[in-house]
Amino acid sequence: MKPFTYIVPGKLAEAATAAAQPDTVLKGAGIDLVDRMKERLQTPANVVHLLPLKDELAGIAAQADGSLRIGATTTLTQLEQHAALANQALAGLQQSAAMTATPQVRNRATVAGNILQFTRCWYVRSEAFHCLHGGRGPTCLAMTGENRYHAVLGWQDCVRVHPSNLAPILLALGAEYTTLLGKQEQRKKFAELFPAEPRAQNPEHTLQAGEIVTAIHVPAQPAGTRSAYVESREKQTFDWATTACAVRLVMDGGTIAAADLVLGAVAPVPLARPTAAKLLVGQKPSSQLFQKVAEAAYAGASPLAHNAYKLPVGKAIVREALEQATR
Ligand SMILES: Cc1cc2nc3c(=O)[nH]c(=O)nc-3n(C[C@H](O)[C@H](O)[C@H](O)COP(=O)(O)OP(=O)(O)OC[C@H]3O[C@@H](n4cnc5c(N)ncnc54)[C@H](O)[C@@H]3O)c2cc1C
């Protein structure tokens, strides 16, 4: 690992000043970042450690408007176990945290770090390979190489997938996020965190250098809201999803009055599927309807040589998420 200066700020304002220096990165628990630094894929001069800023960045708090403020350095265990998530509306958020990695990882991993973790593509994450997304080669090596965990939707010149469990459900729940850049605070819709054009040369998120995510805000959900997050993976634990689906439904009696559906682990960004979600609106839950929605969710998919399995598996996961949300 290349030597670097480790900055431990006492206040968020100090962290923001430190983060504004050139060649500086932010660190939550470091599970993803330090891995990449060890591989020399990221060699910053300065690392700003955010975990000491507990008062300003950690914890979950219900707000007066019924929304939930989730501090950026809240751990996945704290999220999974929080009483505010123990209801049908936020069940999907609870499930997405509970299904991540292992208890040891969840005890350390932060919410912001989970959402902003770098893709797991084995080419771009290895020092030995020189690919387009890593800025070190002319092409996407996964496109014609070993690609069983890669994208089947929404890809252009790079077939990486977005690995975060939390991101799809936060998108489905209509979350927002706040950031601090120098002295400037901003609040944006969660979808704005990801590039509209997820091309190889684009970074995986839209934050500027030195911009600190301070919190995620989950809006109050209308009465009758139910959510679910379901994923497929090769191992029971210690693994990332191969496909995932997050749904948010608003039920009016036995009818679905509103719906959001987001796919994870199958595209370079968490992928909202509004056309599929629209098929649910005004309908009563049924397995025929869910089959139709699952087909629509994967409409236009372009599997690669080794990942066509993601289509039948992914559709089954969509159906299961809808079953769970309407049970
Ligand atoms: C064995 C294993 C299995 C795993 N399985 C899963 C899984 O199933 N699903 C899943 O989603 N994840 C999984 N993970 C990934 C894990 O959840 C993430 O690595 C972890 O959440 C990252 O959080 P962190 O706090 O360590 O982030 P860090 O490594 O500290 O940071 C990650 C990135 O986010 C940036 N960052 C961190 N905090 C902020 C902030 N507040 N503002 C701006 N930028 C910030 C950093 O600069 C860095 O680029 C797994 C990890 C392991 C080791």
Q: Which pLDDT value is given to residue 306?
A: 98
CA dihedral 307, 308, 313, 319 (to 10 degrees): 130
* Ligand 1 geometric centre to CA of 270 (Å): 15
Model pLDDT for residues 103-139, shown as the tens digit of each residue:
999 999 999 999 999 999 999 999 999 999 999 999 9
DSSP conformational letter for 75: B
Q: Which pLDDT value is given to residue 237?
A: 86
CA distances from 88 to 164, 221, 226 (A): 22, 10, 5
CA dihedral 164, 165, 171, 174 (to 10 degrees): -130
Which atom of ligand 1 is least distant from the CA of 166?
A: 11
Relative to beta strand 212-218, strand 68-71 is: antiparallel
Kindly list the protein residues whose Cβ atom lies closer than 6 A to any atom of ligand 1. 25-33, 50, 72, 100-101, 105, 109-110, 112-114, 116-117, 163-165, 207, 212-213, 238-241
Q: Cβ–Cβ contacts within 10 Å for residue 198, how many?
A: 22
* Ligand 1 geometric centre to CA of 79 (Å): 14
What are the structural domains, with CATH classification, of the chain? 1-50 (3.30.43.10), 225-326 (3.30.390.50)
Low-confidence stretches of the chain (pLDDT beneath 50) = none
Residue carrying structure tokens 């098929």: 279
Q: Which pLDDT value is given to residue 1?
A: 83
* Ligand 1 geometric centre to CA of 98 (Å): 15
* Ligand 1 geometric centre to CA of 317 (Å): 24
- Rounded to two decimals, the pTM is 0.98
Q: Which pLDDT value is given to residue 317?
A: 98
> Whose C-alpha lies nearest to ligand 1, atom 6?
101
* Ligand 1 geometric centre to CA of 32 (Å): 5
CA distances from 253 to 63, 232, 250, 282, 285 (A): 28, 30, 10, 11, 11
- E-strand ranges in the chain read 5-7, 24-27, 46-49, 60-62, 68-71, 176-181, 184-189, 212-218, 225-232, 243-252, 255-264, 271-272
Distance of CA 187 to the CA centre of its chain: 18
Residues 6+ apart with CB under 8 A from 196: none
Q: How far apart are CA 293 and CA 288, in angstroms?
A: 9
Residue to mutate (ligand 1; options 34, 110, 169, 186; most atoms within 8 A of CB): 110
